[in-house]
Structure 1
Amino acid sequence: MKKFTVSELTKLIKRLIEKNFTSSINVVGEISNYSVSTLGHCYFTLKDENAQIKCVYFKRYRLQNLDYEPKNGDKVIITGDLTVYEKDGNYQLLIKKIEYDSIGDFYKRFEETKRKLEKEGLFDTENKKEIPYFVKRVAVVTSPSGAAIKDFIRTLRKNGANIEVDLWPAPVQGEDAIQVIINQFSYLNQFTNSYDVVVLMRGGGSLEDLSIFNDELLARAFFACKIPTISAIGHERDFTICDFVADLRVATPTAAAEKLSEYYITIGDRIDNLERHLIKEFEHSLIMKHQYLDTLEAKLLKNSPINRIKQKIKQLEIYENSISSLLKHKLSVREKNLSDIIQRIIPHNPVERLLHSYSIVDNLLKIIESIMVAKIQVNKDKIESYITLLRLLNPENILDKGYAIIIKDKNPVGSVKNIHLEDELEIRMRDGYINSFVTGKKIWRK
């Protein structure tokens, strides 16, 4: 049996698919998870009730179809080429044209359910229960193996929230999860005196992953929960039906933990403020006591024999300073007389001749310095000529003659073998660069 590498197998699958789909095809489906990259390329999922396929809509084709801007939930007719992206091993559609067909089935069902429940008052503010400020015990309906419950508990601990958390396990994805969650809400209604809050939680996902939270029966069970409810389904941009019927909707499980921690954070701040106030009052009292002690000490010193002795010591210091000043004055007069005598002797001092010799040496040093500067300038001119020669030999100067440098991942490419289909390249020319997408390549055979 032949052994294939992953690359060989992927290339074989790519050839099989592209061999059977040699021309563009039309595909009908609903847009989901639509996003635009910084380069202007669009990526999304095209789906129906049973399957989905990834799509790439490059900027150059978008600019040719400006009459329609795709968005999530639209049902569209796609014209494009079926291919395999070898790096990920996924088959995908390279879109050339998108035509709007209608609102997608997913969004249509979502809007119908939303309008129906809204009309019945399930979204009304007056029907929403108030979330307690001081929470002691909370029930969390979520998957026990997901990251959501871990993030939730980690945030409570970080905020010092002394909240008892009971996990009511339930899958949070797939149609089978709906009835399990409904049953959990039904059981929870028997524990209205045990819990302060119920949190329905999931750590994000695509619109398809969150679709169970748009189920009408699940939303009704969530609304019927007698305990105040929080929806933390982890999707900041989009809302689910459960978000609308919940007593409070937050964007993520972490945000739910932050909301429930508010009392504990506030009480912690109040304790800190009281602690600072007590410390301030104690310091103020201590300062007053010190001031009182200083006053008593001053009175004691004023009437103490020690103070009289200190006054006599100060008088002695005054006499000492006066005598010292007189001696310094006489010494200064003597120093001036000595200085005058030295000034008269200096003109006849041999040191003057030595200073003259120093002047001659300084002149010679200046001459030597001038010669050295001239030589340095000659060497500098030579170096500049070498630099000019190096610039003439710079390989990038060849760009002025109409050639180009191919850059991939910030590195020059020297061989076609280093380039793969669908790579994004930068073609650097004399006055700028061009971003290019590889749609084909050919290697010269020697």
Structure 2
Amino acid sequence: MVSLAVTPKFSVSEFLAVINQSLEMAFGSVQIEGEVSSFKVNHQKYVFFDLKDNEGTVNCFMTVWQLRMPIHDGMRVVARAVPKVTDWGRFSLTVQSVQPVGEGNLRKSFELLRKKLSDEGLFDDSRKRLLPSRPQHVAVISSTNSAGYADFMKIANERWGGVRFSVVNVMVQGETAADQIIRAIEKIESLAELPEVIVLIRGGGSADDLSVFNDELLVRKLASSRVPVVTGIGHEIDTTLCDLVADVRASTPSNAAQLLLPDKQDMIRSIKHQLRGAALQTVRAIDTELELVQTARSSALDGWRQRVDELLGDVQSRIKLISEYDPELALSRGYAMIRGNCAVGEVIEIQTNKALMKARIEEYAERSND
């Protein structure tokens, strides 16, 4: 018995749906590397370009907000995309993300985005914020398994104590790293108690490794951060757009700790120096006061001596005056003192220098002052 195969029958839309479902099941998303050509942006919303190599070309479509690093014709990129057949029967890639490949292409993309953001004023010094002199609460965004994070924490703990660190562990390279860092910033900004500063840390690496810090959405997020940002990314020779937009850029993760936190040993030396200076000034002030006191005391003593002499002279004058009223002095001169009631018939007592006598008054009359 012969079996005849049944040929499936579809409408056009049904067929396209089956093909796209099959592509999705077979591939999901794919990464395709190629050279950009025919790049254009329509209505500031939609991006169209072709990816090509020596033997083939494929059409690509994405939205502007998905284009996180600038690309242009001739640039080699890797696109993560989902293959599909459009409603017009044209095979295309719906691109989810695109990343330049190679140091030269990364540099071109970097310069394009740098100019764009610079023209918007995102890198202006006027928008940079000052850091606290001795922060008490610091948020750290980094991979906690990285050497850069370890270096930062080691130096930070050596330089200053009593700092509270809120650490958010993220990927610092790879396709998802930029979004993880953006979510970390949002998490920090939602804290009930905002930290005084955010530190974004990444150790050294290749241009590809550091390209995540040239992501446009990440750079814009740092620019709008509610909290001042310090970056310590790569080595001293490395510069990313995150560095340019940060409030303070450190050359390395270790340098970020040095810029952020004071050195307690330097502080101790400074305090000791200030105390020595204060002690010296105090000694000098005391010496000056003593000199003034001694001068004033000498002047005062002279005044006191003069006053005492004056008082002594006055006392002596008073003593002389008083001595003149001494009754014994009057008796020695031949005078006598009479005691009693001076009236006729009364007995009175008479005292001379050498004798005491009593007598009766036979006659008494008032003496005239004439």
Q: TM-score, normalised by structure 1?
A: 0.39
Q: Which has the higher helix share?
A: 1
Could you tell me the TM-score, scaled by structure 2's length? 0.46
Higher relative contact order (CA 8 A, sep 6+): 2
Structure number with greater Rg is 2
